[in-house]
Structure 1
Amino acid sequence: MTLFQMEVLVAVANIGNFTRAGEEIGLSQSGVSHTIGSLEKELGISLFVRNRTGVTLTAAGEEIVSSARVILAHSSRIKEIASQSSGLLHTTIRIGSFPSATEHLVLPLIRELGSLHPHLETRLFEGTYPEIKEWIRTGVIDVGFHVLPEEGLDGMTLMQDPLTAVVSAQHPLAKEGTVTFEQLAQEPFIMPMAGCELLLHQEFGRRQLKPQIKYEVVDNATILAMVEAGIGVTVVPTLTLPPTLPQVKAIELSPPVYRQIGLVVRSLHECSPSILAFLREAERFFSTFTSK
């Protein structure tokens, strides 16, 4: 019995038709029939019941196909381990990311890995924190950039992104070197709603403060325009700030507060060798990236 025979067997079991299974795996109908016939002869049993509409598994065939799937999965895992040990990632990694991480973290990482591992392919899915979590849970993506900790997912911290207060250039606080949450709580507040609002509520609550939230806004450019117009003050992650600011002043918080950005997976124990290798490469890259 060969791996090729098992691949053909599983393909026919999945599709229920010799011709369509052959099209799926690049084999002629006669080639599929010959392969299955040889396997049945070797085993001494019938694996399929043939009829006019297609084929169905016999009781013994169902058990054998179940074992064949396990063997093929282990075969794939062995190939991944060999690929990993050779220093090449022969696989496709599906990555989830939120906008500020995409520009500042994901794209530099993809460029770096592309030069080191030319056989590695990446696909990018950009969304919100809840979408990334759902994509991980349902298997749409293999790994996601996310704020940590995130309940229900295993994570690995890559960097700390400081939160920054932003006020109008004409605001009295613009003259300050640093600002506190106590000072911000006395001002009309624009709450960013792209994900860091939970951290901000936590920081205000920790100090027993209640911010004067006047607006809740998702889009970062809109938030900055509102601050520039003197409508209120805000606090945003530093990575979300554009290189050139409008007529606003970005001020450090005292004491500093950070959002922890990292990579999340459904379970580190269930990761394939290629995903684990990707995580190690990302950790290595960001250990040097953040120290530059």
Structure 2
Amino acid sequence: MTLTQLEIFSVLADSLHFTIAAQRLGISQSGVSHAIKALEAELGVKLFHRHQSRVELTDIGVRLLARSRTLLGVAETMRQEATDTQGMKQGMLRIGSFGPTSSVRLLPHMIHQYQQKFPGIEIYVDEGPDIQVTQWLRERRVDVGFVVLPENDLDVFPLLDDQMVALLPAAHPLSRLDAVTLSSLCYDPFILTGAGSGEWVIRLFHAEKLQPQIRYRTSQLLSILSLVESGDAISVVAESSLPDCDSQHYVCRPLSPPIKRRIGLAVLDSHQASPAVKAFIALAQQLHSVS
């Protein structure tokens, strides 16, 4: 087997579509098909179930995908360590990001500073819920990711302390309070964010044996703000995700008791991280770091 075959295997496993995988790889669809068939023949197993318009990983395909990504990660680290002797003139950095806190507040400035120092490093960003980012790290789909701490089975680097706040229409009765309880947020239509810390928010309610009246699920912060501004719903979000905590049409209030969260970067194994990853973490700690 070759690293090229393993890369094609990994990309097809992400897209689950031969045409999309071919476009991402910049090769023909038949090239993808031949590479997968050759890999399956060498391994003696079927990696994918073929359907009319898509493919699906087999059970053994799921298991071997993790092994494949481990090998690809080691190969990329070797390449970057070799190029590091030339000043990191080339390489690749795959970042997992979630929600406005990391994707809007933290990441853009980090990438700008990083590319000024290392213009030859290609940067790819995947966005998803925070729980998805941790999964991507374990699957080696990304090299480094923003996570909500703690994460006990990853190597982590704290960057930002934050708090969860109630997001309310400006005219809402609770907006007159200095802080609000989770129980007081269970009587109005509730918006649950589908990105960032949506699952974490719902666990906060369930831990108190509470059930918010979820009417909306959206992954877009602008959609949440629009619904709150119109007076149609309330929400709980991270304070750092908001462009402005108080506006003419909405307000945010701390929760009582306060609910804090800490954002950091994580890698699967810092000892095996590539020079490009280590340089990104070092830069992030220079720009944002908490003890």
Same fold? TM cut 0.5: yes
Corresponding residue number in structure 2 for 1:250: 252
Q: What CA deviation, in whole Å up to 9, does each residue of 1:83-136 have, x standing for no partner? A: 5xx6x5753212221241122111101112233344444232333335433433
Corresponding residue number in structure 1 for 2:127: 126
Matches within 5 A, 1:13-28: none
CA distance in 2, matches of 1:134, 1:241: 26
Note the C-alpha offset of 1:149: 3.0
Note the C-alpha offset of 1:214: 3.2
Matches within 5 A, 1:233-248: 233-243=234-244, 245=247, 247-248=249-250
TM-score (norm 1): 0.61
Matches within 5 A, 1:132-151: 132-150=133-151
CA distance in 2, matches of 1:184, 1:103: 27
Note the C-alpha offset of 1:148: 2.6
Corresponding residue number in structure 2 for 1:79: 82
- Measured at CA, do residues 209 and 215 of structure 1 come closer, stay the same or move farther in structure 2, by a change above 3 Å? same
Note the C-alpha offset of 1:159: 0.9
Secondary structure in 2 matching 1:114: helix
CA distance in 2, matches of 1:123, 1:220: 22
Q: What CA deviation, in whole Å up to 9, does each residue of 1:146-204 have, x standing for no partner? A: 22334653322211232121111111111122222243245443333324233323333
Note the C-alpha offset of 1:77: 6.5
> Is 1:164 the equivalent of 2:174?
no
CA distance in 2, matches of 1:93, 1:231: 41
CA distance in 1, matches of 2:215, 2:253: 20
Secondary structure in 1 matching 2:141: coil
CA distance in 2, matches of 1:209, 1:91: 49
CA distance in 1, matches of 2:241, 2:269: 29
TM-score (norm 2): 0.61
Which deviates more, 174-183 or 239-248? Answer: 239-248
Secondary structure in 1 matching 2:110: helix
Q: 1:264 aligns with which of 248, 263, 266?
A: 266
Q: Identity of aligned pairs, percent?
A: 30
In structure 1, what residue type is equivalent to 2:249? Q
List gaps (5 residues or longer) in structure 2.
7-74
CA contact (8 A) 1:89 1:274 kept: no
Note the C-alpha offset of 1:284: 1.9
In structure 2, what residue type is equivalent to 1:144? G
Corresponding residue number in structure 2 for 1:282: 284
CA distance in 2, matches of 1:274, 1:266: 15
> Is 1:109 the equivalent of 2:114?
no
Corresponding residue number in structure 1 for 2:214: 214
In structure 2, what residue type is equivalent to 1:257? I
Count of residues paired in the alignment: 217
What is the alpha-carbon root mean square deviation over aligned residues?
3.4
Note the C-alpha offset of 1:75: 6.8
CA distance in 2, matches of 1:140, 1:73: 12
CA contact (8 A) 1:193 1:216 kept: no
List gaps (5 residues or longer) in structure 1.
1-9, 15-71
CA contact (8 A) 1:95 1:142 kept: yes
- Measured at CA, do residues 265 and 90 of structure 1 come closer, stay the same or move farther in structure 2, by a change above 3 Å? same
Secondary structure in 1 matching 2:277: helix
- Measured at CA, do residues 80 and 155 of structure 1 come closer, stay the same or move farther in structure 2, by a change above 3 Å? farther
- Measured at CA, do residues 184 and 128 of structure 1 come closer, stay the same or move farther in structure 2, by a change above 3 Å? closer
